[in-house]
């Protein structure tokens, strides 16, 4: 069965989640961040994800922008940084995270092959719109699907169902791409073909569902749907 639709997680997959801390550390006045930004970026991302999972389990949903702020506050405190100006700057930079360098060309190739393309993300609609606009890839996407339409975070199966509801067809028609091993596993368990973009060379998560492809970046995604 040919793949008709390619769907991407946003944060960490299309957009570099370390970009905000990296950029802030390089700016004038960013000296306090310069020595600790890699750890802060890692803590921020980890807490952002943990809080999304825990809120889903607890039934206390809020939008991903609030989760992003909560994760940053934890990371700043852990780094011993009590700076309201730095916090504001990091959040502003997060709204315009850079896309990985291969993203535009990869999406252009998929569109040239006649494939539908979309984002499926925990991100709130405003967050996603800002990131897509900043990266200049809006005309290369057919849809930008947010969990806010159902009020629960990944990996709830209802999130993945948003794709088939939007594009029709079956789960087997979809290639779902994520940099999160747990996300790729959950999407595979749902029935999607999946690609895990494992930039860090991590072990595969021991979860129901396993990614069908493991890649180091997004460059070869078009070959998976149009070999």
**Separation of CA 191 from chain center:** 20
The encoded tokens of residue 6 equal 């390619």
Residues forming beta bridges with residue 89, ordered by sequence position: none
Q: From residue 192, how far is each of 105, 122, 195, 221 by CA, in Å? A: 24, 18, 10, 15
Residue 186's alpha-carbon distances to 24, 60, 109, 155, in angstroms, are 34, 21, 27, 6
Active site residue 82: no
Cβ burial of 106 (10 Å; 0-12, 13-18, 19+) is: buried
Cis, bond preceding 79 (omega within 30 deg of 0): no
* Catalytic hit among 9, 16, 173, 183: 9
Residues with active-site annotation: 9
């Amino acid at each position: 069965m040919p793949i008709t639709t390619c769907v991407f997680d946003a944060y960490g997959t299309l957009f570099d989640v370390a970009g905000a801390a990296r950029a802030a550390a390089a700016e004038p006045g960013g000296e306090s961040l310069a020595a600790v930004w890699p750890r802060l970026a890692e803590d921020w991302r980890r807490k952002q994800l943990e809080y999304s999972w825990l809120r889903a389990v607890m039934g206390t949903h809020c939008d991903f922008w609030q989760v992003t702020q909560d994760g940053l506050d934890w990371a700043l405190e852990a780094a011993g940084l009590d700076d309201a100006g730095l916090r504001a700057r990091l959040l502003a930079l997060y709204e315009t995270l850079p896309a990985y360098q291969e993203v535009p060309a990869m999406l252009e190739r998929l569109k040239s092959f006649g494939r539908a393309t979309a984002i499926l993300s925990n991100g709130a609609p405003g967050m996603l719109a800002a990131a897509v606009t900043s990266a200049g890839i809006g005309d290369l996407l057919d849809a930008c699907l947010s969990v806010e339409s159902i009020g629960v975070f990944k990996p709830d199966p209802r999130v993945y169902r948003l794709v088939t509801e939007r594009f029709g067809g079956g789960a087997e028609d979809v290639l779902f791409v994520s940099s999160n091993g747990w996300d790729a596993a959950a999407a595979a368990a749902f029935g999607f073909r999946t690609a895990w973009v494992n930039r860090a060379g991590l072990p595969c998560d021991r979860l129901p569902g396993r990614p069908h492809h493991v890649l180091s970046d997004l460059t070869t995604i078009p070959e998976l749907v149009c070999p």
